[in-house]
Amino acid sequence: MTFQHTRFILLVLMAFSALSSKNMRIMSYNIHHGRGTDGEVDLDRVAKLINDWSPDLVALQEVDNVTSRSNYMNETDTLSSKTKMFSVFGKNINVFSGEYGNAILSKYPIIHWENRKLPRVGSSEQRGALVAWVQLKDKDKLTVFLSTHLDHRIKDSERLKSIEKIKFWIDRGDFGDDIIIAGDLNDTPSSNAILIMNTFCDGSNQSSKYKTFPSQNPKRQLDYIYTCTKGKYIIDSYHVIDVPVISDHLPIICDIIYR
């Protein structure tokens, strides 16, 4: 086979690979129940941010459901309506005469969802993993998208137990083999918790460039997006969006190529 023939075949294979690949944008955002650093609860600006960046899947943390502090709004339904995305909410605790937990927004139908409790250590608040099985466009198999918010205390024992539980569910096959995890993990890239996450998921989204907290003068990364299926996803890029007023965290965006 001549050099020209070999080069032609490689070009054909590259073109076929490009045609068979799809792009997907993921966002993770701790919205602080819609309350910005200016003290205002304003979901219009959260929705505008989401619409401006047009993610396919959004993991939201610190979401209120009909609480007195958030004007008794169903925040998940409100954001779903304003972004025209499918949604689910997972309650973890009762607060301010309502509920509080994580949420997921999706451009594509959510076929099934579960809100799983994570381990508690001591008298901490109940944390959860909200899991949605999503039917992406042009994909036969369902993609599992997990939104979570781990314990914030300095001692990492509960975060470690939570990550061990998520790994156990994955290893047991609860979520199949097409998994994306996003959320506020409340720990830094060099911590034991994040280093363990990196052993079973792609942790390439960790860098001094990706500081997400506090929003007005970010000093550390607490928010992450992971793909947990080797070979199915290629991480194309990450970006932290500089919007210091909307919440006390900054949102992180990830562009993924999948086959």
Separation CA 119–CA 60 (nearest Å): 20
The predicted model scores a pTM of: 0.91
First to last CA, the chain: 30
Tell me, rounded to whole angstroms, the distance of Cα 13 from its chain centroid: 33
220 strand-pairing partners: 213
* φ and ψ of 191, to 5 deg: -75, 160
Q: What is the pLDDT of residue 184?
A: 98
> What pLDDT, on a 0 to 100 scale, did the predictor assign at position 259?
73
**Scanning the structure block, which residue is given the tokens 């991480």?**
235
All structural domains of the chain with their residue ranges: 22-258
Which conformational region is residue 117 in: left (phi greater than 0), alpha (psi within -120 to 50 degrees), or beta? Answer: beta
Q: What is the pLDDT of residue 116?
A: 98
Q: Are 76 and 106 in contact (CB under 8 A)?
A: no
How many other C-beta atoms lie within 10 A of the C-beta of residue 232?
A: 17
pLDDT of the chain along its 259 residues, tens only? 554 554 544 443 344 344 456 899 999 999 999 999 999 999 999 999 999 999 999 999 999 999 999 999 999 999 999 999 999 999 999 999 999 999 999 999 999 999 999 999 999 999 999 999 999 987 788 999 999 999 999 999 999 999 999 999 999 999 998 999 999 999 999 999 999 999 999 977 777 889 999 999 999 999 999 999 866 888 899 999 999 999 999 999 999 998 7
What pLDDT, on the 0 to 100 scale, is given for residue 230? 66
Q: For the residues of 105-125, what is the DSSP string, one character each?
A: EESS-EEEEEEEEPP--TTPP
The CATH number of 22-258 is: 3.60.10.10
Q: Which two tokens mark 13?
A: 């294979």
